[in-house]
Each structure stands twice: as C-alpha cells, then as structure tokens.
Structure 1
Amino acid sequence: MFSWITPDLIAIVWGMVKAIIILLGMVLTAAYMIWLERRLLALWQDRYGPNRVGPLGLGQVIADMIKIFFKEDWMPPFADKFTFVLAPFLAMSLMMLAFVFIPMTPNWGVSNTNMALLFFLAIAGLAVYAVMLGGWASNSKYSLLGGLRSTAQTISYEVFMGLALMGVVIQAGSFNLRDIVAAQDGLWNVFPQILGFIAWVPAALAVVHRTPFDLPEAESELVQGYHTEYSGMKFGMFMVSEYVGIVMVSGLTVTLFFGGWDAPLWFDRIPGIGAFLGEQIPFVWFAAKTFIFMAGYILVRAALPRPRYDQIMSAAWLWCLPIALINLLITGAVVLWRAGA
C-alpha cells in the first residue's frame, strides 16, 4: 500500500525537515539576540534593560515584532521601487543562505558539500549588494554614501578574510566544514592558526557591519546610512539580517577555529557527564561556544568607540592583510616541511 515510500524519499523529506528546523531556529535565535544584546548592554553599562514585558523582558521581542508588522511601510516617491523592495529581501535571504553550510553536529546541518567554505565566501561577497542597492535605490545622498562606504569596506576586508581562512584549509586539506572540524581533533585551529584568527575577527565584524565596523550606518554622521529611507517590515528585515549575520559568523568561527561540536580537550576526561555531553549531545558544545562569541560581539559594541572611516580602511590594508599573508606563508611552509618536501 505504501510501496511509493522509498528510503530515498524518506531521506529527502527528513533532510527538508532538518533544514526547516535549523533555519527557523536560527531566525528565532537572531530575533532573541536583540533581547540578549539589550540585556547585556544594560548589565555592562550599569542600567536597566528590557524588564517589563514578560519574565525578564523576554516578551519585548514579540512586542517589537508586532509593532513592526503594524507600522506603516512607507516607500519614498523618489525611490526606485523594485530595487528598493529587493534590497532588504537580499540582505535577509543571503545571510540565511550562508548559514546552511555550517554543521552543528556530525549529523545535523542543512548542506554538506566539499565546497562549503567557498560558497560562504561567495555569499559574503554577494551580501554587499543588498546594502549597495538599498543605498542607491533610496535616491538619498545619506543612503548613497552609506552604500558606497559599505562597498569599499566589504571589498577591502573580504580580501584578507579569504586569505585568513586559507591557512585552515591548508591544514585540513579540504573546503568541507565537517572535514575541518574533524581535523581539529586533539588541537583546535585557534592555536596553530592564531594569526589567521586575529585577521578573521575584524573581517567577520566588517562583514556583518557591527560596531566598530558599522560605518555604512554611522548614525552620528549619515543619519541611518543605507536604510535611512526604510520603515516597517523592510527596515525590520535589514535589522534582523544583521543579527542573523552575527549568529552565522559566530557559528562559523566556532566551526573553523574552535573545534565545532567537539568538547574541550580536558572535558572528556570527566567521568560520566563529560563523555555524555561530548559524544551524545554534541550540539550542547556548539551552542555554548557560539553563544560565547555572540556575547563577545555585544561586548565589543559596549566597549569600543567607532573609529574614523580612514582608520578602518588603513587597518585593513596596513595590518590585517600583512598578518593574513604571514599566516598563509608560515602555514604553507610548515605543511611542506611535515610532508618532507
């Protein structure tokens, strides 16, 4: 009676279910990171955060979403309408698309491809078009300046972001993120690839336009940058895409440099709970390490001021690029030496 149900069909359906669960969970995590950011900023700055709507203010995110849904979605009459609508959709969808390549456990992930890291770099390059198109379509000089800044900043930092990751690829011998996690068994990449990690951190901040790399927005000088003219749901998509990017970049940092779902090297030695968490519930470690980096991004916003635009660009070419090149040179030399070449 159910002869049409084949193992291949079951695998396809189960893969779709996993993809929906992961992407919905990621969007919900990004939404509640807004609450987390406001609470942590309040804690570090010695003030109150959201604490009125629901327990611990958890209902504030829902209240904000309802407000955005009912807010007037105004479109400037002088804007290019199609591009104006397309930009926030691109911002949200590309950040979500980049997340599909990140494996959270040995068996849980949306996509498992041997070119996963290359796909991420390609999507990160496309994400700048959302900001650039939003700035251009608004037909506003403030928005246009924000879009131009974003283009220059992203192109600059993506150059050494790719170079910083090539050391990880050389060590693992693969662009597959699962292979990169497996290659860190016994020693996380953050130790042999410390120079690559130092170059990666500012590049990741620049890709998601987080403080102190939020020059495309720059409220103090460009009003609101590339989304000055946006309101309602379109503004909400731009805003949520930034937090989706933070979750995505934090997960990728854990995958590339901190062993992914692997437990800390000493934790497996704890009898009972150590082996259980390390082998039976690997998602616990991936989520815990990702949360630490998400909180770290918030701490950077709380602690560091925004530098001038020329200082940001100078740091990219005069410091980060040489560090990434030196790391690549040292990694290649060590790998060749170990191979006996």
Structure 2
Amino acid sequence: MLTLVLLILNVICVLVGVAFFTLFERKLLGYIQLRKGPNKTGFMGLLQPFADAIKLFTKEHVGPSVSNYFPFIFAPIISFFLALFVWSCIPSYFNLMDFELGVLFFLVCLGLNVYGLLASGWSSNSKYALLGALRGVAQTISYEVSLALIILAPCFIVQSFDLSSFQLMGGIPLIFVFPFSAWIFFVSALAETNRTPFDFAEGESELVSGYNVEYASGGFALIMLAEYTSILFMSMLFSVLYLGAVPGSFLGVFSFTLVAFLFVWVRGTLPRFRYDKLMGLAWKSLLPLSLFYLVLVVSFLVSL
C-alpha cells in the first residue's frame, strides 16, 4: 500500500513539474526574444499550464477517418507511460524500487520509446506523419548508440549500474573527471528528446509538425507530456550521473534546475541543424569519440 502511495505521489510530482517547466520555458523564451511570455492567467501567468491542460483534455477528439484507430489512440498513451515509468529508476530519499541495474533499465525504456513515436506516425495514415516518424526514429536510434556508450565509461569507474553509486564518489562530481563525456551526453540527450537544434521529428517549418500532425486534444497533450517528462528525466539523470546530486536535496534541486535551464537556453539560442548534418554528427563524430573515450577508460582501469 505504501509503495502504491509513493508511486502515485511520484507521478503527481512529475506531472506538476512538467506543468511548471512548460511555463518556465515559455517565460524564459519570451525574455530571450524580448517579450513577456504568458502573464495573464493567474498571478504572473502561473495558472497558464493548468488552463492549457483543461483546454486540451476537454476539446473534442478528432482523428483521420482512415487511420488505424487503436494504434492511433494507444501510441501516445504508450509514450507517456514509458516516460513516467523510467522515473522509477532514479534514486531518491523515498525510493520506490531498489534498482541495481538502473542504467540498463533506463536504456531499455529509451529503446522502447521509438515504438510509440513510430506507431503515432504510421497509424495516422498520413505521408507527412510517416515521414516525420521515420526521421524521428532514425535520429533516436542513431543517438542512442553514442548515449549508451558514453554512459558506460562512468559505470566502469564506479563499477556499478546502480544510479545511487554515482553519489558515492568521495564528493567529486564526475563532470570534473569526464567533462568531455558530459558534453556528449548532453548533446545526445538533446537529440533523444527531439529538442532544438535537433527537433527534426516535429520541425514545423518543413514537416507540418511531423509525426503528431494528425493529433489533437488529449492525444496531442499526451505526446507533449511524454516529451517534456523525458526532458525533465534527462535533466535529472545528468545531475545524478555527472553532478553527484541526490534528488530531493538542495544540491539536487539546484543542479536539476540548472540542467533544465540549459535545455531551454539551447532552444532559444541555436538554429535547427540540417538533417544530414545531424546524422553525420551522430555517426562520424559522437560515435567514434564515444568509442575512443570508452576504450581509454577501460585501458586505464586495466592498467591499474
């Protein structure tokens, strides 16, 4: 019973965090672009995320008449479920589960995410949605490879796949030991979560919103919730892996907020890549560098 209560509490905290992160992003992008952002609904716009949620979930559900109905309905639900499920491997003061293989669990959930994305595009029975889904899946799979390899180097150092082990490094954050690894992880996290400058799966200017073009109301809201939940999770994972933060502590909250701020800052600063440049960065730059980094760390450990 206690585990169920903690699980529900965890989900509620994540959803509230997503709501206010969207507000934080819109306000910050507004000030970057010399405008105010949401400031009408509630005090300083604080109720804007809740107004958006009520609007989306109370709108009429409209879908293509020739879509594959059940995959079309369940694809956003699957994406949202996986985005919430992966949070259970994050160590905290009120752990839901004791994960000795938390890193592997995260990588498995990350790999399953592509099925929700592909199902969304394919089941829409629209050429634009399918093209967006194929581009998104190719991008996600490409960056998963370098992301998995770059995470292995810190795992070999701490000799564990348990995320709580990264907080026991003698008070030295791994970002000072592996600054290059942290940079590759952050770039791969941007690509994994379809964020600018790698937001090709939903590039509005050339893809008509990509794989989610046929979604409206609740389905669109679930897709956006899954995306922003993944962004917050990547921010938390970065702070745990490379900053040695304990989720729930003051340092944990500060480092998590700092990384989430970087996600928004990058969006407000950098233009979108060209698609061939994106794939070239993954296979010609990040993958060889990740392999070299991993071989270097293993060689160092073997020589000790």
In the TM superposition, structure 1's runs of 4+ consecutive aligned residues that sit over 3 Å from their partners are none
Q: Please say if residues 34 and 61 of structure 1, whose CA atoms lie closer than 8 Å, have aligned partners that are also in contact.
A: yes
Given the alignment of the two structures, is residue 101 of structure 1 paired with residue 89 of structure 2, yes or no?
Answer: yes
CA distance in 1, matches of 2:236, 2:291: 24
Structure 1: 5+ residue runs without aligned partners?
A: 1-12, 263-281
Secondary structure of 2:63's aligned partner: coil
Given the alignment of the two structures, is residue 75 of structure 1 paired with residue 44 of structure 2, yes or no?
Answer: no
Partner of 2:191: 206
- Which residue type is aligned with residue 314 of structure 1? G
CA distance in 2, matches of 1:110, 1:73: 35
Partner of 1:14: 2
Aligned residues: 304
Partner of 1:241: 226
Secondary structure of 2:66's aligned partner: coil
Given the alignment of the two structures, is residue 136 of structure 1 paired with residue 113 of structure 2, yes or no?
Answer: no
1:131-182 Cα deviation digits (max 9, x unpaired): 1000000011100001100111111101110000000110010001111222
Cα RMSD of the aligned pairs, angstroms, is 1.2
Give 1:328 shift: 0.6
TM-score w.r.t. the length of structure 2 is: 0.97
1:224-262 Cα deviation digits (max 9, x unpaired): 100000001000000111110111000000111110229
Give 1:188 shift: 1.0
Partner of 1:63: 51
CA distance in 1, matches of 2:57, 2:137: 30
Partner of 1:337: 303
1:87-139 Cα deviation digits (max 9, x unpaired): 100111111111110113xx323222111110100100000111100000001
CA distance in 2, matches of 1:127, 1:36: 25
Secondary structure of 1:190's aligned partner: helix
CA distance in 1, matches of 2:170, 2:113: 32
Secondary structure of 2:175's aligned partner: coil
* Aligned ranges 1:1-341 → 2 under 5 Å: 13-104=1-92, 107-182=93-168, 184-261=169-246, 283-338=249-304
CA distance in 2, matches of 1:122, 1:248: 14
- Which residue type is aligned with residue 209 of structure 1? N
Q: Which has the larger Rg?
A: 1
Q: Please say if residues 209 and 215 of structure 1, whose CA atoms lie closer than 8 Å, have aligned partners that are also in contact.
A: yes
Structure 2: 5+ residue runs without aligned partners?
A: none
Secondary structure of 1:298's aligned partner: helix
1:181-218 Cα deviation digits (max 9, x unpaired): 22x22311112222221221111111111111110111
CA distance in 1, matches of 2:98, 2:293: 27
CA distance in 1, matches of 2:157, 2:167: 11
CA distance in 1, matches of 2:196, 2:150: 21
CA distance in 2, matches of 1:75, 1:217: 18
Partner of 1:5: none
Give 1:69 shift: 1.9
Q: Please say if residues 167 and 331 of structure 1, whose CA atoms lie closer than 8 Å, have aligned partners that are also in contact.
A: yes
Q: Please say if residues 171 and 244 of structure 2, whose CA atoms lie closer than 8 Å, have aligned partners that are also in contact.
A: no
CA distance in 1, matches of 2:36, 2:103: 41
Secondary structure of 1:213's aligned partner: coil
Deviates more, 1:198-207 or 1:303-312: 198-207
Q: Please say if residues 189 and 259 of structure 1, whose CA atoms lie closer than 8 Å, have aligned partners that are also in contact.
A: yes
TM-score w.r.t. the length of structure 1 is: 0.87
CA distance in 1, matches of 2:29, 2:265: 7
- Which residue type is aligned with residue 230 of structure 2? G
